[in-house]
Every structure is written in C-alpha cells, then in structure tokens.
Amino acid sequence: MAQQFVLKTMLDFAAAHTLRGYPGDCAKLHGHNWKIEVQIVGSKLNEIGMVVDFKEIKRHAKEVIKELDHTYLNDHPHFASTNPTAENIAAYLYQQIAARIGSQTVQMHSITVWENERNCVIYTEN
C-alpha cells in the first residue's frame, strides 16, 4: 500500500443565514460561529519533508471564507439559489478550496463544517 499523508488545519468565520423551506426556528434569521477543518492529502514529500506548508493551505482557505465572513449567506451569489444549509456550505467550501489548492501532488481530502460544538457535516468527493 502506498503511503499517504492527510494534513488538517482549522479556521473559523461568523455568518448568518435563514433556511428556506425549513419547518422550524432555523427558517428565521440566525447566525453561527462556523468552524471548518480542511483536510488535504498527498503522498510525496518535498525536498524539506513536507507535503505542503500549512500556511499555503490556510492562505487558500482564508481566501474562500473571507467572502463569507460576517455576511448574510443568503445574499451570497451561490446561496441565492442554493439553500445555505451546513451540507451546502460544506460542499461549496470544499469545491472552492479544492480549485485553489489542487495540484499533481496534493488534493482536497475532506472538509468538516461545524455550526456549533455538537453538530457538523463532513464532505468529500473521494
């Protein structure tokens, strides 16, 4: 079996949303302090023994979450037609970060999106 390294870094952002069509309180305006765990996978180490620098992973992830931080998610172009559920937020973040970080040596592995300390979504395309 070939070696594989999974690197994980954590970031956070604050944002509000309403869930369209939801039969409960989450249909009302409310917010979360979202936490995300970005996992990258690679099998080769560079000349100094890293798959990729954690700073690079964070830089790409921060570019994506910057557009969501302290916003009303329903106003974001992507979520104008896609309900901003934790599941859809996870898929969006995964795809946006993957487009920035993907290369021949590293790829997105998964993303975990926490809306609070008890509830999260893990999304992957593997």
Residue pLDDT, tens place only, 79-101: 999 999 999 999 999 999 999 99
Give the structural domain span for 47: 5-123
User: Is residue 109 flagged as an active site residue?
Assistant: no
pLDDT for residue 102: 78
Percent of the chain with pLDDT over 70: 99
Helix (H) or strand (E) holding 5: strand 5-17
Rounded CA separation 16/31 (Å)? 4
- Residues of each annotated binding site for Zn(2+): 17, 30, 32
Phi, psi of 92 (to 5 degrees): -60, -50
Q: What is the pTM of this model?
A: 0.95
User: Is residue 70 flagged as an active site residue?
Assistant: yes
Count of domains in the chain? Answer: 1
Catalytic one of 63, 67, 70, 87 = 70
pLDDT for residue 31: 97
Query: pLDDT band at 121, cuts 50/70/90?
Result: very high
